[in-house]
Structures are given as structure tokens and as C-alpha cells.
Amino acid sequence: MTERQRELYDRVKNASGKLNLTNELGDEEALAIAEALKVNTTLTSLILDCNQIGDVGAQAIAEALKVNTTLTWVTIWQNHIGDAGAQAIAEALKVNTTLTWLSLDTNAIGDAGARAIAEAIKVNKALTRLHLSKNQLGDAGAQAFAEALKVNKTLAELDLSENFFTTSGINALKQTGNAICKLIKLNSQRVRSPAELTQIAAATEIQQLRSEVASKDRRIAFLEQNIPNAPIPRVPLATLVSATNNFAGDTLLGEGAFGPVYDARLPSGQRVAIKRLSAKSIQGYTEFKAELDTLSKFRHPNIITILSYAESHGEYCLVYEFMPNGSVRDRLNRKNDTPPLTWSQRHRIAADVARGMHYVQTAFPDHVLFHLDLKTDNVLLDAHFSAKVSDFGLVRAATHLDVKNYIRTQNVRGTVSYMCPQLLESGRMTTKTDVYAFGMILLELVTAANPGTRLKSIARRAVDGETTIELLDSALDRNAVERQSVSNIVTLALECLDDEAADRPSFGSIIVQLDPWSSDMQSTATKAASHVAEKLISSGRQELQVTASQLSIESTQLSRIVTTIPSIATTIPRVSLQVLSQATAQFSESRRIGGGGFGSVYSGVWSGQRVAVKRLAADSMQGVAQFESELEAHARFRHPNIVTIMCYAQEGNERCLVYELMTNGSVRDRLDRKGGMVALSWQQRRTIATDIANAMHFVQTAIPRQPLFHLDLKTDNVLLAADFHAKVADFGLTRSMPAQVDVHSYIKTKTIAGSYKYICPQYHQEGKVSIKTDVYSYGMILLELLTGKQPGIELGSAVKRALKNHGRLDSELDTSVVWGVPESVFATALAHLALACLEFDGVDRPSFGEILKRLSGAETGLNEERTIDDARMTAFSQTDLAAKIQQLRSELAAKDQELAAKNEELQQLRSSLVVKELKHAVQGQELQHFRSNRAATDQGLQRQLGSDLPVKSQRRAPKNHDSKSAFDRIDVLKRHQPGSNLAKPIPQVSLAALVTATNNFVDDSLIGKGKFGRVYGASLSGQHVAIKRLSAETIQGYIVFQSELHSLSQFRHPNIIALLSHAESHDEYCLVFEFMPNGSVRDRLNLKNSTPPLTWSQRHGIAVGVASGMHYIQTAFSPGHVLLHLNLKTDNVLLDAKFNAKVSDFGLVRAASLDEKSDLRTQSIQGTVPYMSPEFFDEGLMTTKTDVYAFGMILLELMTAAKPRPRLKSEARHAIKYQTVNELLDSAFKPTEVELQSAVKLVALALECLDEAADDRPSFRALIATLVTR
């Protein structure tokens, strides 16, 4: 908390009566105010007018209003609150019972926010005055309030003046019949200009993007439907104090971030573990509530059980079952000389964790939980070495989430080594986030090594080299362990650790893979379950009903078996034919709702539920085959987007299958508007497209290496539930492929069945079936959803013509849908996706996993995942609308950079080195005194801490650390000087001269800013320069100043930014650089300020220039002494007037005695995450190849213009493998054939630089030699 925040917090916390805060407060200050409001009990009126509070601040204040019980008057007039903030305030109004006056005048609230507030006042009975004048409300908002006023009878005054209501909206408000509420100046409305009306067409997309970025991380309330609460008993704190002998040190079991854990015995004699939440931890109470709420919702044998809790006067304790064998991490470390875990125990631990996590994600029918701190420290072992997942303090919940969706947090917490790229870089959480952490746990179980990307790299090399047995923990006898078992688990671990979330397996499929490997320690019940599952998968021709008596298992044990793998294998009840005859009124013709060559379908009621009964024709071989195929397919899995088979009957030649009834019929019927049906809306069509892809991705990946092919995917076989969610049906033609998943693999059949218009060329002409066969059918379905027309080659041709001639699909879109601009843009994106699915060669079609990502990218509208064709973007580039959207996306990109900066700060928090050193250096004196005596302090640090020592020939386990302070590293730079012919003093100029040159650092001259300061353009002595003004408020500002000054004074090079002079006065530090008129490489790749794209020769020249500059700083010093940049990125590569590249920003530089066989370790890891090499990120190891990794990412950016991220590396590897580099390249320039060949080589070179093994990366010398020959 900053000093300003602390001041505000104390002021608000202690305020009473009326408080006026109108001093240009922003979101950061609002966060402090909100926290204070949660504990204040005397404040009645709060005025926050004329500030800079946006959605984030409003959301925080809304959370406070949910718990504050004294405020009656709140005004937040003239701020920057949008729909996201208004929606949060609306949620607060639904529960707040004291607020009577709320003013949100002069903000940026639109119809979405208005609708939310209108819904809130339908239930709020306290609010009497509500002001929303001078916002962005339109007729939709007016209509929402009109409906609310028909219900609300307590609101006395509503001010909606000076919005954008037309006569229609005004009349709706006047005709509510509400005689209580006075409408203030309702007729006084504004009129939008033509330009504004054009922009409104994009409001949906823009608002969605704004909400995505601005949304505050908050916990989603747990829904309790279908999951009975298990109340956790509360016990007196005195009981726990007595049980632990007043929390004596000799009862301490361990300690975590939120407090210690004690061993104790309750008065009942039961041994327990008591977690005492730290009174000093801000997160203590948050964790306490999270664990209490979460663990009260469910019980599972592989989740730690909470027995009771205590809460009294700021003390919070949780009481758990005692786990005598400690954590998995402790056992792998052999803590207290415990014997090593056996291979069988490790197997069972893996399966137990997967079961526990599968339950966590599926226990609630309509929302999913994320653990977010899954690691070996949080997996505990009971007396029988059964594993139990613990520590749910960081848990998050989200509604209606499946593998395609995510939620985002700006508060990324957890353990870095277990975080997937999506969570670490952008705060995105999906159902596959915890799977990544599980993959790391698997590698730890195999190796006993510490987690991290290095362990992942070692495992990948072992798999490639078929040496996985060598990874095995040395405490185990390799001869006693089956090699294939080790290989299987390591391979599974790497699948879980895939950079692409969509390509990671689900916990359900993980269980299927792990259980067979653990057969030696399974209980009788679990063995039987595996046998049942094997039968279900291998043969649909055998009778599938297995009873408890047949297996000789207690019914409770069998129940546990079924819930272990509910989404993968399941028993299907068998009923008598008489039961189904009665359910359908003896298969009455009046109940017949469909039919075909296989037989007829009837509606009926079974077990109190409406069902569809498919009665297979007794004389139809197709019917028999379909019966067997469907039964086998549906026995394999359950999924919300696959129609559920409820039961079946088989007597003689009679066969029936019973499905859930889909009340809205088939997609084809809906598109045809059969029987006068209402046309599907655009939102419904989007949902249907995603639902189908989700289902098909599942059937192809649920059982690894054994995908299922539908082979009759069409709109007739996609059915719609009551809420219009789609479910794939009719698995009668399914085929499965044993142990082959490569896109080039196929099976061949002589029997070609299905609907001709949906069959791909390979299947139709050659009988070849692969995982891309159903993708072709899906592409045709997409075109049907967009156009409403019948499927076929003609439809595909019409869509191609429209896109070619107009760049958009408008001429072919279904006329029964109202298409706004955002919808049209999205539809065009889907049309391009559909055509990709309809490619002649199956290899060129996307997988369903890729389709889901593209659908998600199009829906979120984020640059990183946008799939709209560049031709369409060009067509829109001249319009005001596109400019508006592009401007917003640029703002979003800036927000993404801010998130990346936050992640960097998280890394810095791994060590409080600078703070500790500062305290040590100043010996308790004030910062100002320290600065004034800086020279003496530096000398003291130098004497105390010594010099850098490299670690040679011990790359894997270096013992020395970079334990120096940041100040001492400056002395290292001074000692490691090159020859005197290179060193050149940097002139010092007066600060007054720089103040004059920048007009007192006026914002008009600001050309950039970073974490530690700002950069201004100025003219000095007739020369155009860039002046970096380092922040006077941070120690790091001074460190950067000294680091850059001493680094850049040592050498001159045409590819390194030139430092011209510096100024230093009191607390002000300035560096004067040569001016670089063409900005940064990142800005040019982003086409900032509409600059033209970089040409091929310019990109190639930039690559050569950066490599030359980096080679120089690694060799300019005397032999063996190198400089490490550690913050090399496209933002820090600047371009002069001739587009020559110059490396800049030497603020994080390190100097040490290193060669290519040695390394140095630091505990202070700083930089930008996507550019960090694995060894630096995981362990703080710095080598001469650390900057080479960053250079590899720069190469990929130059080729693609994409933002840096691990996914970019994966995409490049895929493009090289499948020879599709041309699709990866920046679409802003069109390379010649020769340039394309060179680009392919540069992408391959980038991947060499990005090798996870530092020793395998090329040197900068080798890179220059390679680049100049290409």
C-alpha cells in the first residue's frame, strides 16, 4: 500500500458523518477507500465527485457497499465509470439495505450498465434517489428502467436527463404507471452526431473488450444446487489454544504464506492439524473464508477434510484431519530421513490427485472450481499413503465454464513453477490451468527434482532420446521399475505441460490413463471398474449392464467406481421392452417424432423425465449396426454437448435406445423454420458453433491416442436443448482409431456411409478417415449457420465469391437475422474459419482444438487471438469505425503490457534483496541521508560483499549466488572495464539546462515512459535528444541511473544507443541519449501512429544490428569478462533515421567473469517474462546464452509482428514442421519467393535461439555469421 493509499485508508476508516474526497483520486486510491469502507461503521455520506475513478475503482467500492451498513448517501459524479463498474454497483444494490441516494451522473455508463442497475432496483427497497444524467444511455437503457419502474415502488426520484433517448425511450418511461417516482428533466436529451451513430454500431464489441480488460478480480459466489452443504462446526478458540499448548513451538508442523500449522489432539482424543491464519497477513482472512466456503461444499477421499473452525477477535483457525505422512514434497526430499516413496506409491499418488481434481472441477453441475495452487507441498499423505489435495486458499469459481472459456484475474498468485503460460502472462484461468500444475507434479514424482521449466526441458529431451528411465529418482532401483510405466507417465506429464491449454488432457482422461498403470495397488473395486471400462470401450456387442452382484462388490464401492471416471466410461442401464412400450403409449404413431432407414423415434416419459425413444427396425442391418455403435460410443463418455443416452432395451430382434428429449429439435429444422419456428438469433448460432466444436474436440481427445470419428456430423444430427445449447447426436456410423493421433494418420474403409454433402474428398474418393474428416463436415455446418442455406459445394463457392469480391459475407448472410457491424465482422471471421475446415487436403484443416481457440479469439476480440482475415481489416481501415476499434485495441495492448509489468513485479517479490540491502546499507538512517552519502555507502557495500564469482562446470547446481546489492553491481561494472581506448567520460550538464529544454518536463514533450522513469523529446545545443528522467521516488530509479551511466560510458558501437550526457542534482537523475526518430521496433511492428510496415530488408537489417550490438557487449571487455543485458526486447531496440537498430535500456545489466562454460546465479530476477530463458526464470541462472534466448523471441516478432509469448514459439515450431511459415508471417508485408525462403530460415534460427537447453543455443558470433549469409 502506498503512502497515499495508507493515508486515505486511515482517513476513511476513522471518518464519521459526511466525507468529501475530490482530489483527483484514481482507481488505486479507490481501492484503499473501499477497504476502509468495509470496516467503517460511522460514515453516512461519501462524496467522490470530480475524480478519475474508473471501472476497477467502482468495482472495489461496490464490493464495499455489499458489507457497509451505515452509508446512506454516495455520489460519484463526473468520473470515468463504464458498464463494468455500473454492473458491479448494481450487484451491490441488490443486497445493500441502507443506501438511499446514489449519484452516478457524468460518467460513461451505457445500456449494459443501465440494464444491470434497472434489474437491481427491481429488488432494492431502500434507494429513493438515483441520478444517471449525462451518461451514454440509449433507448435500450430507457426500456430497462421503464420495466423496473413497473415493479419498484420506493424510488422517488430518477434523473436520466441528457442521455441519448429518442421519443420511443422517453415514452416508455412515461408510460410505466408509476406515480411515485419523479423523472427529472426527462425530455432534456442529447442527440448523437452521425459519427457517434456510426461508432455505436460497434458498441457491443467495444464494450466487451473494455469489460474484459477492466474487470476486477473477484470471487464468484459458489452455487449450491444439487450439492448439499456439510456445515462445518465452529469450536471455541480456547479449545484450540489448549490443544496446542497456546500454539507452542514444539507443536509446529510447518508454516506457509498465510500462517503456521500445528499438531494437536482435541479433547475427544482425535489427532488433528490446526492452521492458524496469520494476524499480520492481509490474505489471512481471505484464505480462511475461501477454504471454509470451499471445503464445506463437498467431501471426497482425495480432498483434505476440514473438521471444524474457530473465529474470535481477529484470530482464525481451521482444523483438518491429520496426515501423518506429511506432504509429497517432504517425502520426495526425504525429510527427517524418511524412506523413499515406492514406485507403486507414486503411481497411486498421481491417480489420487487426478481423482481429487476431477471431482473439484465436476462436483458442481453449473460451475467449475480452480485450485490455482496445486503443488507437491499441497498434496498430503495419510497413514496409508493415499493422497489428498489441500490448501484451497486461492480457489476461484466460475459459472458456465468449459474448455473453450476462461476467466481473467489481475491478481495472479500461486507458485510460479506450477503456473501455466496463460495464467502467468495474462491472468487467464481455464479448466486446464490446474492440469499444467499436475503435469509438473508428475515429473516430480518420477524424478524427485524441484519443479520448473528446466525440469520440463530435461523431460522432453529424455522422451525424444528414449531415455526416460534415466530420469527416475536415484533413490529407486531402476531394475525394479517397468521402463514403459516411467515412459508413459513422463509422456503424460508433458501433455499436461503443453503451452497450449486446449491441447492439455482433462482430468477425466488423465484418470483413464493412470488407472491401468496403478493396477498393482488398486482395490478390488477399482480393478473391477477398470475391467468394466475396458469392456465398455472394446465391445459394444456384449451386454453392457454390470451389476454389483456380478462383480462381488459392495454397492457403495461400485458407486465410488462410477464417480471416479464419470465423463469417460459409464454404465448404461438396461430396461425391459415393456417399460419403453408403456413410456411411448405402445409406440403410438401419435408419439412418433421422426424416423429414417434405421427405424423410428418416439417421444415418451421414463423415470419422470421426457425422453426420445429410438426403436431400431428389426429387419434393418443398419439398425443393428447403429445400435451397437451408439451404445459403444455413449458408453465411453458423457459431455454437456453430446446427447445423453439414458437406457436401452434389447429383446430378440427388438432394440431400443432412449435419449434425453431435445425440445427445440434439430439445427436444420430451426434454420428451415419448420412449422413456423422462430429464426435462430445470431447469439444462438454462435453458441451452437462453439458447442459442436466442443463436443467433437472431446470425442477426439477424451481417450488419448484413441480418437473417435463421428462420420455423420450434420445439422440434422445436431439437436437443441430448451436453452438452445447444441448437442451432437447419432453416433451410429462412428469409427475409432487405435493408438494414432497424428494429423497424417488415417484408417481406411470400403463402406462409405453418411450424407454426401458433408463428406470430405478423402473419405468419399478413397475411404480414408482421419481426425480431420469430421472437421470438413463442421465447416459445412458453419456455412449453414451463417447463411441458413442448404449444404453443398454450391454454398461453399458462393461464400468464397462473396469474400473475394467484397471482403465480407454480407451478401450471403441469412436474412432472417438482423446483422449489425460487429455481427457482420464476426460472421466474416467464421466464414474464413469454415473455408479453412473445407480445405481439400485434410492436413490443411484445423483441428477441433484449434477451432475452439479461433472461435474464442474471434469472440473476445483480443489482438492475440483474433482470426479475422487481413483483407477484411484492410477493407475497414478507411472507416471511422475501424479507427475507433483499432484505437481501443491499442489501448488493450497497453493494458496487456501493464499486466506483463505486474508479472515482472511478482518475480521481483521472490526476493526482497534490494530492500534488505538498503536497510543494511543505511543502517536505519533515512533515505535522503543515504543518497547524500552515496559514495561512502557504495564503498562499504563493496568491502562487505566482495565481487562476482562464476560457477564453472556445475551448470545444473551452482553453489555461488549473486548476493550483491544492486549498488555493488555498479562497482562490478566499474571494475570490468574494457581497454582505455573504449572508455569515454560522459559529460555532466546542469539539470537546469534539461528543465529548460523540456519546458520543465511538460507532458507535451513526453515520448515514452517505463517502470522507472519517463522519456522526453527535446533540443539541446541545437541537437535533437531524448532525455530519460529517472523516478526520484524509487531506489530502483537511482540504480538504473548508475547502471546505465557506467555501462554506456565504457563503449561506443553503431548498434548501441549513445549516451550523450547526464545530469544529477539532489534527488533528480537524468540521462541524455541520441534521439531515435523511428521509435522502437515494437512500435513499428504495431504500426503505431499509422506508420508503414517494416520492409523485409529493414527487418533483416534490424536482426543483424541487434546481434552485432549484443556480440559487442559480450566481447568488448577484457577476455572472460562479459556484460549481460537481461532486458533485451523489441521495446528496447530503437531505430534511427535510417532504420539502423540500436540496443538500449541497460538498467538491469550484469557484469561478471564468465565464458560459455560457466554461469552466475541471482536471487533478484527482473525483466520481461516472455523473453526470459528457462534457466534464468526458474533458477536465476545467467549465462552468455541468456540474452540469446531473448534475441530468438525478437526474431519471431520481426517475422510475425505478433506479441511475444510462449505460444508464439509453439506456433513457429508447428509452422516449420508443417511448412506453413507463410501463414505465420506478418500479413502487413508480402515477401517475394526469395524473401520467403529467407524468412523460413530465420524462423528456424529463432527456434534454435529459443532452445530450452542453454548449451544448445548459438552464440551471437555464430548468429551474425548465419544472418549475414541469408
Query: Which CATH number fits the domain that encloses residue 64?
Result: 3.80.10.10
**466: pLDDT confidence band, cut at 50, 70 and 90?**
confident
| Number of structural domains the chain divides into | 7
| Residue 302 domain boundaries | 223-321
**480: pLDDT confidence band, cut at 50, 70 and 90?**
confident
Residue 1248, pLDDT > 90, answer: yes
What are the cell numbers at 352? 489420487
The radius of gyration of the chain's CA atoms, rounded to the nearest angstrom, is: 33
Give the Cα-Cα-Cα angle 741, 746, 751 (nearest 5 degrees).
135
Closest C-alpha to 446, from 343, 517, 521, 522: 343
In the three-class reduction of DSSP (H, G, I as helix; E, B as strand; rest coil), residue 438 is classed as helix
Average of pLDDT values for 187-208? Answer: 65
Whether residues 358 and 271 fall in one domain: no
Cβ–Cβ < 8 Å for 373, 393: yes
**285: pLDDT confidence band, cut at 50, 70 and 90?**
low
- pLDDT of res. 921: 36
Residue 888, pLDDT > 80, answer: no
Whether residues 959 and 976 fall in one domain: yes
Distance, in Å, from the CA atom of 7 to the CA atom of 3, rounded to the nearest integer, reads 6
Cβ–Cβ < 8 Å for 43, 16: yes
Assigned domain for 1204 exists: yes
- pLDDT of res. 410: 61
Cβ–Cβ < 8 Å for 1030, 1038: yes
Whether residues 1165 and 1213 fall in one domain: yes
Distance, in Å, from the CA atom of 1118 to the CA atom of 440, rounded to the nearest integer, reads 42
Residue 1051, pLDDT > 70, answer: yes
**Of 321, 346, 376, which marks where a domain is finished?**
321
- Which CA distances in Å does 1088 have to 889, 890, 1081, 1199? 12, 9, 10, 17
- pLDDT of res. 866: 34
Distance, in Å, from the CA atom of 1095 to the CA atom of 1231, rounded to the nearest integer, reads 9
Strand (E) or helix (H) holding 906? helix 880-908
Name 399's bridge partners.
367
Whether residues 530 and 611 fall in one domain: no
Rounded to 10 deg, the angle between the 1096-1115 and 1260-1267 helix axes is 150
* 1201 contact partners, CB below 8 Å, separation of at least 6: 1085, 1086, 1093, 1226, 1228
**147: pLDDT confidence band, cut at 50, 70 and 90?**
very high
Whether residues 979 and 1086 fall in one domain: yes
- pLDDT of res. 181: 94
Label residue 1058 exposed, middle or buried (CB < 10 Å: 0-12, 13-18, 19+).
middle
Instruction: Say which residue, 1159 or 872, is predicted with more confidence.
Output: 1159
Whether residues 1130 and 1070 fall in one domain: yes
**Of 621, 636, 661, which marks where a domain is finished?**
661
User: Which of 321-330, 446-455, 562-571, 1202-1211 bottoms out in mean pLDDT, i.e. has the lowest?
Assistant: 562-571
- pLDDT of res. 971: 41
Residue 1094, pLDDT > 90, answer: yes
Q: Which of 55, 83, 159, 373 is catalytic?
A: 373
Average of pLDDT values for 902-908? Answer: 50
- pLDDT of res. 1163: 62
In the three-class reduction of DSSP (H, G, I as helix; E, B as strand; rest coil), residue 1270 is classed as coil
Residue 897, pLDDT > 70, answer: no
Residue 957, pLDDT > 50, answer: no
Assigned domain for 199 exists: no
| CATH number, domain containing residue 1171 | 1.10.510.10
Is 373 marked active-site? yes
Query: Exposure pattern of 1220-1257 as b/e (b: 16+ CB <10 Å)?
Result: ebeebbbeeeebeeebeebbbebbebbbbbbbbbbeeb
**163: pLDDT confidence band, cut at 50, 70 and 90?**
very high
In the three-class reduction of DSSP (H, G, I as helix; E, B as strand; rest coil), residue 362 is classed as helix
Whether residues 1215 and 1234 fall in one domain: yes
User: Which of 54-68, 559-573, 847-861 bottoms out in mean pLDDT, i.e. has the lowest?
Assistant: 559-573
* pLDDT tens string 691-715: 999 999 888 887 666 788 888 899 9
Assigned domain for 856 exists: yes
Whether residues 645 and 708 fall in one domain: no
H-type helices in 788-820, by residue range?
A: 793-806
Predicted TM-score (pTM) of the model is 0.40
How does strand 609-616 pair with strand 599-606?
antiparallel
- pLDDT of res. 201: 55
Assigned domain for 207 exists: no
| CATH number, domain containing residue 582 | 3.30.200.20
Give the Cα-Cα-Cα angle 757, 762, 763 (nearest 5 degrees).
60
Assigned domain for 213 exists: no
Distance, in Å, from the CA atom of 120 to the CA atom of 126, rounded to the nearest integer, reads 11
- pLDDT of res. 103: 95
Assigned domain for 497 exists: yes
Residue 161, pLDDT > 60, answer: yes
Average of pLDDT values for 337-341? Answer: 90
Residue 141, pLDDT > 90, answer: yes
Distance, in Å, from the CA atom of 1041 to the CA atom of 1148, rounded to the nearest integer, reads 10
- Altogether, the residues listed in the chain come to a count of 1270
Assigned domain for 908 exists: no
* pLDDT tens string 963-1021: 333 334 434 344 334 433 355 688 999 988 999 999 888 988 888 877 668 899 999 88
User: Which of 243-247, 699-703, 742-746 bottoms out in mean pLDDT, i.e. has the lowest?
Assistant: 742-746
Label residue 676 exposed, middle or buried (CB < 10 Å: 0-12, 13-18, 19+).
exposed
Cβ–Cβ < 8 Å for 701, 760: no
Residues above pLDDT 70, as percent of the chain: 75
Instruction: Say which residue, 39 or 328, is predicted with more confidence.
Output: 328
Whether residues 954 and 868 fall in one domain: no
Whether residues 653 and 676 fall in one domain: no
Whether residues 1031 and 1154 fall in one domain: yes
Q: DSSP for 289-356? A: HHHHHHHTT---TTBPPEEEEEEETTEEEEEEE--TT-BHHHHHTTGGGPPPPPHHHHHHHHHHHHHH
Residue numbers belonging to the annotated binding site for ATP? 614, 1028
Closest C-alpha to 1249, from 1138, 1103, 1120: 1103
**DSSP code at position 1229:** S
Average of pLDDT values for 213-225? Answer: 35
Assigned domain for 513 exists: no
Whether residues 537 and 596 fall in one domain: no
- Which CA distances in Å does 213 have to 610, 854, 896, 906, 1054? 43, 19, 8, 19, 40
Rounded to 10 deg, the angle between the 1186-1200 and 1206-1217 helix axes is 70
**Of 626, 661, 696, which marks where a domain is finished?**
661
Name 369's bridge partners.
397
Average of pLDDT values for 1029-1053? Answer: 75
Residue numbers belonging to the annotated binding site? 614, 1028
* pLDDT tens string 1171-1219: 988 888 777 788 889 999 999 999 999 999 998 887 788 889 888 988 8
Instruction: Say which residue, 715 or 358, is predicted with more confidence.
Output: 715
The letter for the amino acid at 486 is V
Distance, in Å, from the CA atom of 675 to the CA atom of 693, rounded to the nearest integer, reads 28
User: Which of 352-356, 491-495, 626-630 bottoms out in mean pLDDT, i.e. has the lowest?
Assistant: 626-630
Task: Kindly compute the dihedral angle of the four CA atoms of residues 366, 371, 376, 378, in this order, to the nearest 10 degrees.
Answer: -110
